[in-house]
Homo-oligomer: A and B are copies of this chain.
Amino acid sequence: MKLICSQTELNSALQLVSRAVSNRPTHPVLANVLLTADAGTGKLSLTGFDLNLGIQTSLIASIESSGAITLPSKLFSEIISKLSSDSPITLISDDSKNQVKITSKSGTYQVRSMDADDFPELPIVENESFLKINASSFANSLRSTLFASSTDEAKQILTGVNLSFNKHSIKSAATDGHRLAVLSLQDVISSDNESKIYENIEITLPSRSLREVERFLSSCKSDTEISFFYDQGQVVFISSDQIVTTRTLDGTYPNYNQLIPDDFQHTLELDRKNFILALDRISVLAEQHNNVVKISTNKRESLLNITAEAQDLGSGFESIPINFDSDDIEIAFNSRYLLEGLKIIETDSILLKFNAPTTPAIFTPNDDSKQFLYLVMPVQIRS
């Protein structure tokens, strides 16, 4: 392999694919990135793969001889990132010595390489049919739910986001057992392909991979459509010059729909930004005592009072205006759960609906066109 490429482009590509390289590789070659130079297409392709998540991208290079090799991701990325962007970079692999020579205007580096044959192949999806999905809408699906997934590896299936595809719509959901975020999006799948096999499929993908997918989707131009392949426990996302693959999580995702009450006794309308600011301030006290915040209505003055008690340290009291028309109520929450969910909602006016201080409460945008729902279990108030 022998080629010349731009420092800036190689650096960006390495930053991207190294996100799929494991920090604790189970095999030495998994600490490496795969470089494949093709004189025919004039492209250098880079791949990182930790056996779950795979990222592949390519850049234009002046390729004198084709070839494939792997280099240690961290060392190679650090060297390239510090080289001058004024000078092109030459890469020459010397397979007999197992090393690659990197030359820039100021200096020369030799890095120990490993054989490309040892590098695992990215999963290829066998079926040829795929969905065309709007990249920015899909990024929104992920962003709106990822935060609510569990970090507890003991409940593996809850460490992912559940995706249901149905004709033109995608429903994404995540829960950690204490709260649940659900977003339904219509018309995100374009109609110009009629892949019957994608009707009514439901998969759960690991959050760690989806954070990279979200980053990848967010970097696409706003009206880009990406191709989505699914087969036998593997998902592949393809844009014009990038491929991201991830395995699915095994197991049955809980039937979260049955957790969502149909009717509510109480509905409060409040300003999301004011509520966030008040919760953020009161959290300083709440953090001292299990993050518990108590909210109670003052119907006479149309106020919502938010309080936190930190036994020996102090207490806090905030109030914000609300619209409310049933009897005065009191309910307590984990302030961190509230803040994380409220930051996702896009409208200024929001609704808080619930039946009792011990049953699930629901936050939604006060706008029927936004199909987002955030369910939070209240905290028991000691009386």
Tell me the A residues contacting B by CB distance below 8 Å. 72, 75, 78-79, 82-84, 99, 106-112, 277-278, 280-282, 284-285, 288, 306, 312-320
Copies of this protein in the assembly total: 2
A112 is contacted by which of B72, B99, B313 (Cβ under 8 Å)?
Answer: B313
Are B314 and A112 neighbours in the complex by a CB distance under 8 Å?
yes
- A24 CB to closest chain B CB (Å) equals 18
Are A79 and B315 neighbours in the complex by a CB distance under 8 Å?
no
Are A281 and B79 neighbours in the complex by a CB distance under 8 Å?
yes
Are A285 and B109 neighbours in the complex by a CB distance under 8 Å?
yes
In the complex with contacts A79-B281, A79-B284, A281-B82, A317-B107 CB distance below 8 A: yes
Are A316 and B284 neighbours in the complex by a CB distance under 8 Å?
no
Are B109 and A315 neighbours in the complex by a CB distance under 8 Å?
yes
- A50 CB to closest chain B CB (Å) equals 21
Q: Which residues of the other chain, B, contact A281 by a CB distance below 8 angstroms?
A: 79, 82-83, 106-107
- A193 CB to closest chain B CB (Å) equals 47
Complex Cα spacing A109 to B278, Å: 12
Are A107 and B282 neighbours in the complex by a CB distance under 8 Å?
yes
Are A316 and B282 neighbours in the complex by a CB distance under 8 Å?
no
Q: Which residues of the other chain, B, contact A306 by a CB distance below 8 angstroms?
A: 107
Q: Which residues of the other chain, B, contact A315 by a CB distance below 8 angstroms?
A: 109-110
Complex Cα spacing A144 to B84, Å: 29
Q: Which residues of the other chain, B, contact A314 by a CB distance below 8 angstroms?
A: 75, 99, 109-112
Q: Which residues of the other chain, B, contact A316 by a CB distance below 8 angstroms?
A: 79, 107-110
Which residue of B is nearest A320, CB measured? B106
Pairs A-B, 3 closest by C-beta atoms = A107-B318, A111-B314, A78-B284
Complex Cα spacing A109 to B281, Å: 10
Complex Cα spacing A280 to B282, Å: 45
Are B317 and A109 neighbours in the complex by a CB distance under 8 Å?
yes
Complex Cα spacing A29 to B261, Å: 50
Complex Cα spacing A185 to B79, Å: 39
18 more A-B contacts (CB under 8 A) besides A84-B277, A110-B316, A112-B312? A75-B288, A75-B313, A75-B314, A79-B281, A79-B284, A79-B285, A79-B316, A82-B284, A99-B314, A106-B278, A106-B318, A107-B281, A107-B282, A107-B317, A107-B319, A111-B313, A111-B314, A112-B314
Q: Which residues of the other chain, B, contact A78 by a CB distance below 8 angstroms?
A: 284
7 CB < 8 A contacts A-B = A75-B313, A99-B314, A106-B278, A107-B318, A109-B314, A109-B315, A109-B316
Which residue of B is nearest A106, CB measured? B318
Which residue of B is nearest A312, CB measured? B112
A72 is contacted by which of B75, B83, B313 (Cβ under 8 Å)?
Answer: B313
- Which of A109, A314, A316, A318 is most buried by chain B, counting CB atoms within 10 A of its CB? A314
Q: Which residues of the other chain, B, contact A313 by a CB distance below 8 angstroms?
A: 72, 75, 111-112
Complex Cα spacing A313 to B74, Å: 11
Complex Cα spacing A316 to B101, Å: 10
Complex Cα spacing A317 to B79, Å: 12
- Which of A108, A109, A112, A312 is most buried by chain B, counting CB atoms within 10 A of its CB? A109
Complex Cα spacing A319 to B84, Å: 14
Q: Which residues of the other chain, B, contact A83 by a CB distance below 8 angstroms?
A: 281
Complex Cα spacing A319 to B108, Å: 9
Are A75 and B284 neighbours in the complex by a CB distance under 8 Å?
yes
